[in-house]
Amino acid sequence: MSETSMLCELPVLEYDYKDLAPYMSEEQIRTHYGEHHQAQVNGANEILQKLGKARKEKTVDLDLPSTLKNLSFNIGGHLLHSLFWSNIAPEGKSSSKPDGKLAAVLTKEFGSVDRFKKEFTKAAISKEGPGWAALTFSRKTGRPSILQLEKHNTKICPMHSILLVADVFDHAYQIDYKNDRAKFIDAFFHLVNWGTVNKRLEKLIV
């Protein structure tokens, strides 16, 4: 909680830019991470600094609705991208399908892992415009849910824990797949780090 940690920071990737090929090219990930994600970190920090300044100077004419909406977009984008980078990994680095507690929870909810993949894919592909497909988990019911997020901040259950996200903004796949989002989602499943997803779940139920 030191002064220096009071701003958002771009997380360090656990792999090199080139490591996710052929499913995600070096150029695609470099642009996505270095420019798009960085822009959201900068955007969030600018707002945090603007708020800090207004409080210091006791400014009263802060436009809160637009400032907070903007903050939800940028800080939401930062958080979701951070989750995204750590729930993908070079193919072969992690188990190729869900295992452990995750496999049990998905099978219980969806009937099978295949049905889960089908629903998640459909949620990702049928999203109109930019957004995310997310697998969330409710501690109250012990059930996982798929959500289809609009942009970075809409159609979200507040406080719900997030286990897995797929970015379906154009910027996530345009370089590699042009407008073929379905092909990108197919590739995405080759990269999912099921070990991390399982760890996120275990943290919630243990």
Please report, as ranges, the residues that interact with other proteins according to CB under 8 A: 1, 5-9, 48, 55-56, 58, 60, 62, 64-65, 68-69, 71-73, 75-76, 78-80, 83, 105, 108-111, 115, 119, 122-123, 126-128, 134, 138-143, 145-149, 152-162, 204-206
C-alpha separations of 84 from 110, 136, 191 in Å = 22, 13, 11
151: how many CB neighbours lie within 10 A of its CB? 17
Q: Smaller CB distance to other proteins: residue 20 or 146?
A: 146
Q: Smaller CB distance to other proteins: residue 84 or 173?
A: 84
What angle do the packed helices 194-205 and 100-110 form, to 10 degrees? 80
Closest approach of Cβ 88 to other proteins, in Å? 18
Q: Smaller CB distance to other proteins: residue 15 or 110?
A: 110
Strand ranges in 109-183 using DSSP code E only, listed in sequence order: 131-138, 143-150, 161-167
Q: Smaller CB distance to other proteins: residue 91 or 119?
A: 119
Closest C-alpha to 170, from 30, 38, 28: 28
Closest approach of Cβ 21 to other proteins, in Å? 29
Closest approach of Cβ 22 to other proteins, in Å? 28
Closest approach of Cβ 187 to other proteins, in Å? 20
User: 87 φ, ψ to 5°?
Assistant: -100, 15
